[in-house]
Structure 1
Amino acid sequence: MKITYFFRHPKVGHSIHRVFRTILQELNNSLEIETHDVPNIGSMPIDIIRNNLYTYKKRDQKAIHHVTGHIHDVLLSLIGVKTVLTVHDLVFLDNVKNPFKRFYKWLFWLYLPIKLADKVVCISNQTKNNILKKIDTKKLSVIHNAVDPIFKHTPHDFNEDKPVILHIGTGWNKNLELTIQALNNVSCHLRIIGKISELQTQLLINNHIDFSNESNLTDEQIKQEYINCDIVNFPSKYEGFGMPVIEGQQTGRIVVTSKIEPIIEIANDAVAFVIPNDVNSLRNTYLKIIKNPIFRNNIIEKGLTNAKRFSVETIALKYINLYQDLDKE
């Protein structure tokens, strides 16, 4: 069985490539795999046309075609062949205020792609439920993202005097600003991964935070950041999945994260939950983790168990079953 995967242009972002690369390495043992990156970065009409022309040229009547996310509109060029679409989240629609742009994205990124796809994979139940609120369809199934096997349980002596708190991401939804405020006068080192703004830098200085910052790290460097830290900090305001939660659990670190969906679904009560807009919730949780080793170790053990649900072998098998079902139709 041959599966042809279509990815967005790498310059848009590597997160989808990274998620599927992990799965494809496992699937390559049992399937014939071909991958393509579309040539255009944007989502304007000219980009849709060029990306669809490219996709049409790469279609294969004998293959199953899997659009891996973001470039949902290329389903327009795959009419007549077997197709799978992965939808990661609906942030592309939910954050649009302009009614014309919203309709445009609803039509070309959601409604038509879902109507045209043979099967639609959602990476969380929240994404599935959000789609069902907008479109009535029976094509949806949930297959979670797989954790990269490079993340392995690495025992570590927790630094109670000055723990390293690893914060992943600096965008609007990653809640770095509230984290900084919550850590005022807490003895720790805040390790921030991602480009920080001038305002964030000033906030760090004003709150007397001992911090360091890196960006554009390789996967191996990211793995080492998890190993070096004592706490993984991920108190997001919005997420489509929340891979750092699983990566932290797999490494054997306690994870602080938000009690919101889909993180509740992904974390499986094996984290230290916080209320993402409550600075006292964050602060009290950090202090509890630092001062209470029984609480800390209990959460870490639960996390190691939970991470097994996202092993590449488990997730790859779910995709194989999906492809086999479609191949029979």
Structure 2
Amino acid sequence: MKINYFFRHPKVGHSIHRVFRTLIGEVNKSVDTIIYEVPSPGSMPSSVIRNVWYTYKKRDKDVIHHVTGHIHDVLLALIGVKTVLTVHDLVFLDNVKNPFKRLYKWLFWLYFPIKIADVVVCISNQTKQNISGKIKTDKLTVIHNAIDPIFIPEEKFFNKDMPVILHIGTGWNKNLGRTIEALSGISCHLRIIGKLKESQIALLGKYDIDYSNQSNLTDEGIKDEYKNCDIVNFPSMYEGFGMPVIEGQKTGRVVITSNIEPLVEVADGAAVMVDPTDVDSIREAYENVISNEVYRLDLIAKGFKNAERFSVENIAKQYIELYKTLE
């Protein structure tokens, strides 16, 4: 068996490649694999044609082709060969207001790719339900993302007087604004990973938040951020999965996240669940975690157990069993 993996151009982002690199490393122990990255980072017709042509040249009737990472349209080059498509989320469709762009993306990023693929893997039940609400198909299956083995339990004395609260991401969905407001008056240090906007910097000043900021970290750098923090903060408004939840749990940190899917599915009762639209709900979570040691330790213990579901060995086994059905 041989698997060809197709990823978007690195300039578009490394997050999906990072998640799958862990998986591919494990799959490669028993299956031959090759990784391809499409040559164009753009989404204009000329870029799409270039990427589709590149993919077409790599097709092989004796190989399973696995496409992931918001380049679903390259499946147009894989008609007639064995193909797996992994869909991480539908943010590319759900956030589009222009009806013409929305129709284009529905056709070429969702409808045709799903019709062409032999199997469509969803990384959460939420993604599966979202797709099912838009297209009738029996090709959908759920396989979660795997956690990188570099994340290991790291003991740390909890700093109750000045806890370090790690916030991952500064995009619209990461809810940094409400986080800042909720932390007003709470003695802590907010560690923010991601490029800050001027409006966010202004808000940090307005609420007098003690903070530091870093972006473009290596994998080891990200690991160290989890190791050095006391609380992982992830009250997101929208996610396809939510890796920081299980990365925090595997490291041995208490996690605060949103009571929305798929975060409820991923956390599985091993995190503090908050209403991401309610500043008071988020604030109450911080106060409870900081003041209640028994509550905090119980969540950490549950988090360790929950993270086992996402081990790379477990997830790779599920993918290999899936590939075998296409041989």
Q: TM-score, structure 1 length as denominator?
A: 0.99
- Which residue type is aligned with residue 275 of structure 2? I
Cα deviations by residue, 1:121-145 (Å, 9 ceiling, x for unpaired): 0000000011111111100000000
The whole-number CA distance in structure 2 between the counterparts of 1:8 and 1:197 is 26
- Which residue type is aligned with residue 60 of structure 1? D
- Which residue type is aligned with residue 248 of structure 1? G
Give the aligned partner of residue 108 of structure 2.
108
The whole-number CA distance in structure 2 between the counterparts of 1:283 and 1:89 is 28
- Which residue type is aligned with residue 11 of structure 1? K
Give the aligned partner of residue 134 of structure 2.
134
Instruction: Please state if 1:180 is matched with 2:180.
Output: yes
Instruction: Please state if 1:191 is matched with 2:191.
Output: yes
The whole-number CA distance in structure 1 between the counterparts of 2:322 and 2:132 is 20
Cα deviations by residue, 1:262-305 (Å, 9 ceiling, x for unpaired): 00000001001110011110111101111000000000000000
Q: Is the 8 A contact 1:158 1:230 kept in 2?
A: yes
Unpaired runs of 5+ residues, structure 2, are none
Question: How far is 1:69 from its partner?
Answer: 2.5
The whole-number CA distance in structure 2 between the counterparts of 1:167 and 1:74 is 34
- Which residue type is aligned with residue 130 of structure 1? N
- Which residue type is aligned with residue 140 of structure 2? L
Q: How does 1:87-166 map to 2 (within 5 A)?
A: 87-166=87-166
The whole-number CA distance in structure 2 between the counterparts of 1:113 and 1:47 is 17
- Which residue type is aligned with residue 276 of structure 2? P
The whole-number CA distance in structure 2 between the counterparts of 1:253 and 1:265 is 18
The whole-number CA distance in structure 1 between the counterparts of 2:225 and 2:69 is 28
Give the aligned partner of residue 206 of structure 1.
206
Cα deviations by residue, 1:204-254 (Å, 9 ceiling, x for unpaired): 111111100000000001000000000000000000100000000000000
Q: Give the match's secondary structure for 2:172.
A: coil
Question: How far is 1:61 from its partner?
Answer: 1.4
Q: Is the 8 A contact 1:274 1:282 kept in 2?
A: yes
- Which residue type is aligned with residue 150 of structure 2? I
Cα deviations by residue, 1:33-71 (Å, 9 ceiling, x for unpaired): 011000111222212211111001111111000001200
Give the aligned partner of residue 237 of structure 2.
237
Give the aligned partner of residue 312 of structure 1.
312
Cα deviations by residue, 1:98-130 (Å, 9 ceiling, x for unpaired): 110000000000000000000100000000011
Give the aligned partner of residue 79 of structure 2.
79
Question: How far is 1:184 from its partner?
Answer: 0.6
Q: How does 1:264-275 map to 2 (within 5 A)?
A: 264-275=264-275
Give the aligned partner of residue 66 of structure 2.
66
The whole-number CA distance in structure 2 between the counterparts of 1:226 and 1:19 is 17
The whole-number CA distance in structure 2 between the counterparts of 1:109 and 1:65 is 17
Provide the aligned C-alpha RMSD in A. 0.6
The whole-number CA distance in structure 1 between the counterparts of 2:168 and 2:16 is 17
Q: Give the match's secondary structure for 1:120.
A: strand
- Which residue type is aligned with residue 269 of structure 1? G
The whole-number CA distance in structure 2 between the counterparts of 1:102 and 1:34 is 33
Instruction: Please state if 1:48 is matched with 2:51.
Output: no
The whole-number CA distance in structure 2 between the counterparts of 1:148 and 1:29 is 16
- Which residue type is aligned with residue 206 of structure 1? K
The whole-number CA distance in structure 2 between the counterparts of 1:200 and 1:133 is 35
Give the aligned partner of residue 297 of structure 1.
297
Aligned length: 327
Give the aligned partner of residue 28 of structure 1.
28
Q: Is the 8 A contact 1:69 1:85 kept in 2?
A: no
The whole-number CA distance in structure 1 between the counterparts of 2:163 and 2:295 is 16
The whole-number CA distance in structure 1 between the counterparts of 2:177 and 2:311 is 32
Instruction: Please state if 1:250 is matched with 2:215.
Output: no
Unpaired runs of 5+ residues, structure 1, are none
Runs of 4+ in structure 1 displaced over 4 angstroms? none
